[in-house]
Structure 1
Amino acid sequence: MSLLFNPQTYDPSSFDADTARQLLALVEFFESKGLARNKEEFYSGEWYSDFVDLIATNEIFSTFATPAEVGVLVGANEARWDLARINELNEILGFYSLAHWYAWQVSVLGLGPVWLSENESARVEVAELLRRGHLFGFGLSEREHGADIYSSDMILRRDGDGGFRASGGKWYIGNGNVAGRLSVFGKFADDDPDHPGEHVFFLVDPRHRSYELIKNVVAGQMFVAAFNLHDYPVAATDILHVGKPAFDAALATVNVGKVNLGWASIGICEHAFYEAITHAHNRVLYGNRVTEFTHVRRMLADAYARLVAMKIFAARATDYFRCADAEDRRYLLFNPITKAKVTSEGERVIDLLWDVIAARGFERDTYFSRAATDIRALPKLEGTVHVNIALVLKFLPRYLGAAHGAAQDYPAVPVRQDAADDAYLFHQGPAKGLGAIGFSDWRPAFARFAHLPNVAVFVEQIEAFTQLVTTAPPTDAQQRDLDYLQVLGQLFTQIVYAQLILESAALAIDAGQTRPGSVSDLTDLTEAHIDRIVAVFVRDMADQAVELHGQASATEAQSAAALAIVRRPVIEPEAETAFVSEVLSYSGVYEMKH
């Protein structure tokens, strides 16, 4: 039985032959190099030119990151933006090296404004560069303004000859050392006759003499550039978006790219889990295996439950993303949860495993020592957890209302592992009207598993949470209190997280829609897994409820209502013993060769 990605048994033959070949080429690249060489390159900060060569030779990024409508223009007939196989790519790269994954992630962000643009010549130019193996980058953030994308000191001024000159600096721009092109965000000069002070996205060639590469702002293999443009010439054919569409393209690109972070977290946690369980189960202290200690067994069981839940949710959220259209935009709730919740859960998994293996997690020759630092990055990229949880709260009224007479009808969302081009991602338009997005009744997802002890308890917690927000909603002052809203948002997020996991479980267990051969294969999923996963959720809801109860700004009514959410999970000894036995069965199953 296995619910985790194992490179030694991975068989992506359910995908088309080219996709399977490319995914296996990635696995072979890292496995052939071995852990020791991977770690030495990591510590030395060596640029991964061999990886870039592999990507170019096999046209991996070109095939995976070019929409079909653009691919046909450059003869890339196998190209499509297919989230099912993109998930595979993300998890595999995360499993081996977040630094290598970063080259992919930043390329995705750099390509977003291009694929969202109506500039056909730019789309063709970039697609051809992508086919030749170039990486790309996203020139959005600036040192002085950070995440404030309303502000920019990258200014375009007219050159008197029908074009523009761009001057300014960018900070924290991945692949800025080698990118074929960077999609750069800036503003027209305030005195521009046609677009005074308006936002603009334009293409930049880092090989141009007006491009000054300053430095890598981080210590590591990935190159996160600081650069300046000095009167860089911008032709009309280089401009991707002008005005509000430029701002919308920035947000839409982040919407497309942020889900990748959850999948990278999953890959990191899986590799670390294999290493930690093998070490702990073969370690003897005081005459006992480490895994015989009660607290260790509980921590490993919790880590496994959280990790499996991460995979199930992320895969199900992808189904909604792939089925999205102008009438069904529920993905705008599920995407920030994939980013914020899945990456945060990744940190908790690593923390649990680290508490088990202790000092071993620092050792130079382990994968874990790298995972322990890499996992921290993902909650902080593409919008912090706080930003994404605040976004999630916009959906709360319509979501809860769907279970109380205000449901909206949608076609059923099946498991989506088919080879399809997810074209809507680049035609989604501005992310507005979030509070008006309706939801279907989510109660059936819980009703299917209501006979499981912990699901029954969790449903009681949902009812108590609903009472909290309906009888003691946030005050006007609390609507501006991010501390209070973060805790409330975490409680709400937990409910949505559980819903999609239970939906996916029902499709796998009842309908046989298990995603066979993928990194998210649920063939071995059982109701016992679901009950143990939800036991963790019950505890998390209780923890967050206690935190809400103690918030300085909480009213007496809110504090009392918060305590009504507190419950204890049901842990049946025989079931827990069986679950822990499954966890321990992963000992020795996978180890990357040295």
Structure 2
Amino acid sequence: LSEILGFYGLAYWYAEQVTILGLGPIWQSDNIKAKERAAGQLEAGGVMAFALSEREHGADIYNTDLILTPAGADDEEGVVFRASGEKYYIGNGNVAGMVSVFSRRADVDGADGYVWFVADSAHPSYHLIGNVVHGQMYVSNFRLDDYPVREEDILCTGPDAFSVALNTVNVGKFNLCTASIGMCEHAFYEAINHANNRILYGNPVTDFPHVRASFVEAYVRLAAMKLFSDRAIDYFRSASLDDRRYLLFNPVTKSKVTSEGEKVVVLLWDVLAAKGFERNTYFAEVARLIGALPRLEGTVHVNVAQILKFMPNYLFSPAEYPEIGTRDDAADDVFFWAQGPARGASKVQFADWTAPYERCAHIPNVARFYEQARALRELLVTAAPDAEQQKDLDFMLVVGHLFTLVVYGQLILEQAELLGVADDLVDQIFDVQVRDFSGYAVTLHGKSGSTAAQQEWAVAAVRKPVTDTER
């Protein structure tokens, strides 16, 4: 559904995506009345909101200035707290019947003081300040002034409330990838239709080699986005406390897939040129908003830093897992709402990542990229980042991008096998993978903090894709 909504307009997708986020704390709570209330509002066509972020703290969710003060003796019956403070960048905050609000108690220090509760945007103590963006999407700034919080409004408290915040993001922001895919699909159709019907010097624009090259690369990057995202869904829906591999694959969907969407749009824009600005095109809307998706999660950097936590176990400590098949069945994915504590990422293990690469090594560019992937593992053995480099996030992000390409390739190959995707398409996808890996290797070489051994590795890791002249 989110891919379809993205295909027709990000504003449609945004209302749904924020509703999913708003439901996260409700569905993870033990508050049956709140769940029933939410179900009733959804049936009536309502939307929800997720009030986590604040103007001062941004992505720092350890801190919140939305304060709960215990109710006084003279307060109205049933009120246990009074809530005061502002929330910022909150989608649907103008009309949501249930706004899930992250807060802390004034009388309790540390993590024990965290509280999720629900507020009603129509309540007199809920003050809507305005929309912080231009456009159809309503991204609100609101303030609560002595908002009455009753026991039935409280969803969860203490460290559990903090875990619920992170777990909601794991679930609710996964579909950033599918929004990007939907937008790119529509933009691709519009671009190729325009180019093929545009005649220059007696030829369709699509006859020019540079235009064909742009469309081929845009197509294979988009195909890779879909293959990875669909396979990541299988792992996500099959997750359990014993299999939390989704904790790696989800940030890859949120950062890598959405960043690839930006690249697709730039490639198409180079073909459309000035046409891409015209207001009667969908492309103009895509070009303006495609960059929002990798940044709605904070930044790509946040996700790549998260991805790095999994690198040692992924590359060096494989574990046995049962095979994960295609998950397109109708099932109650209960683990989504019972993910447990949001910790232990560095302990998560993975199946042997080399297996799909070995199975597909007959495809020339898969084999070439596999050389680069193994070279990355060798780098971490022979010239790993030292303690100072590990503190330098600018340096480590490049390592993170190199590692992300290996993970990205694994799931692409798995999904291609499941669907029986033609080897020619897989080969062309990995043509891009080889070039992207080489690009990041060159970037690593150029970093001021890279050592001589790392620079030597970087130059040796650069590869030219295998060229199929007939294709």
TM-score bucket of the superposed structures, by smaller chain: over 0.9
Any conservation in 1 of the 2:111–2:159 contact (CA below 8 Å)? no
Q: Is 2:422 the counterpart of 1:422?
A: no
Q: Which amino acid aligns with 1:169?
A: E
Match 1:181 to one of 98, 108, 114: 98
| Alpha-carbon separation, structure 1, partners of 2:385 and 2:195 | 46
2:412 matched to 1:412? Answer: no
1:544 aligned to 2:440?
yes
Letter paired with 2:96: A
Q: CA deviation at 1:382?
A: 2.2
Bigger shift: residues 160-169 or 317-326: 160-169
Q: 1:278 to 1:184 in 2, by over 3 A?
A: same
Matching residue within 150, 170, 174 for 1:235? 150
SS of alignment partner, residue 380 of structure 1 = coil
Matches within 5 A, 1:106-117: 106-117=18-29
C-alpha offsets along residues 175-220 of structure 1, whole Å, 9 cap, x if unaligned? 111101100011100x35x989711111001111101111111111
1:294 aligned residue: 209
Superposition deviation, residue 383 in structure 1: 3.2
Aligned-pair CA distance for 1:308: 0.4
User: Contact 2:21–2:173 at 8 Å: present in 1 too?
Assistant: no
1:506 to 374, 392, 417: 417
Conserved 8 A contact 1:258-1:336: no
| DSSP 3-state at the match of 1:252 | helix
CA distance in 1, matches of 2:22, 2:131: 18
Q: How does 1:96-495 map to 2 (within 5 A)?
A: 96-161=8-73, 163-189=80-106, 191-192=107-108, 198-401=113-316, 406-495=317-406
8 Å CA contact 2:89–2:141 kept in 1: the answer is yes
> CA deviation digits over 1:83-119, x for unaligned, max 9?
xxxxxx0100000010111000100110000111112
> What is the DSSP-based 3-state SS (H/G/I as helix, E as strand, rest coil) of the residue aligned with 1:111?
helix
Q: C-alpha distance in 1, partners of 2:147/2:270?
A: 52
Letter in structure 2 aligned against 1:344: S
CA distance in 1, matches of 2:98, 2:203: 57
RMSD: 1.3
How far does residue 289 in structure 1 lie from its aligned partner after superposition?
Answer: 2.0
CA distance in 2, matches of 1:196, 1:270: 43
The number of residues matched between the two structures is 466
Q: Is the 8 A contact 2:83 2:147 kept in 1?
A: yes
Q: Residues of 2 paired with 1:431 and 1:295: CA distance?
A: 47
Matched AA of 1:492: F
CA distance in 2, matches of 1:270, 1:129: 32
Q: CA deviation at 1:287?
A: 2.7
Amino acid of the structure 1 residue aligned with 2:181:
I
SS at match of 1:444: helix
User: CA 1:458–1:249 in structure 2 vs 1: closer, same or farther (change >3 Å)?
Assistant: same
Q: SS where residue 220 of structure 1 aligns?
A: coil
Counterpart secondary structure, 1:231:
strand
Q: 1:259 is paired with a residue of what secondary structure?
A: coil
**In the alignment, is the contact (CA less than 8 A) between 1:188 and 1:196 conserved in 2?**
no
The match for 1:573 is 469
* Counterpart contact for 2:111–2:162, Cα < 8 Å: no
Closer/same/farther in 2, CA of residues 269 and 208 from structure 1, 3 Å limit: same
Cα distance in 1 for partners of 2:448, 2:465 equals: 27
Matches within 5 A, 1:57-68: none
8 Å Cα contact 1:457/1:569 also seen in 2:
yes
* CA distance in 1 between partners of 2:176 and 2:57 (Å): 23
String of CA shifts for 1:339-388, please: whole Å, max 9, x gaps. 10000000000000001111110011001000101111000012321000
What is the identity percentage for the equivalent residue pairs of Structure 1 and Structure 2? 57
- Return the offset for 1:142: 0.8
* Shift of residue 128, structure 1, vs aligned partner: 1.7
Aligned residue for 1:91?
3
CA shift digits 1:29-85 (9 cap, x unpaired): xxxxxxxxxxxxxxxxxxxxxxxxxxxxxxxxxxxxxxxxxxxxxxxxxxxxxxxxx
Which structure is higher in RCO with an 8 Å CA cutoff and minimum separation 6?
A: 1
Q: Distance in 1 between matches of 2:457 and 2:6?
A: 41
The Cα of 1:485 is off from its aligned counterpart by: 0.9
Residues in 2 aligned to 1:444 and 1:164: alpha-carbon distance in whole angstroms: 55
The answer on 1:563 being equivalent to 2:459 is yes
Question: Against the structure 1 CA distance between its residues 371 and 466, is the aligned structure 2 distance closer, same or farther, given a 3 Å change threshold?
Answer: same
Cα distance in 2 between the residues matched to 1:563 and 1:421: 49
Pairwise CA distance, 1:451:
1.0
| DSSP 3-state at the match of 2:387 | coil
Residue 573 of structure 1 and its aligned partner are, at CA, apart by 1.6
After superposition, give the CA deviation of every residue in 1:525-566 in whole Å (9 maximum; x if it has no partner): 311110011111000000010001111111111111112210
Give per-residue Cα distances to partners, 1:401-446, cap 9 Å, x unaligned: 1xxxx32111100011111111111111122111111111121201
Contact 1:465–1:562 (8 Å) recurs in 2:
no
CA distance in 1, matches of 2:293, 2:58: 17
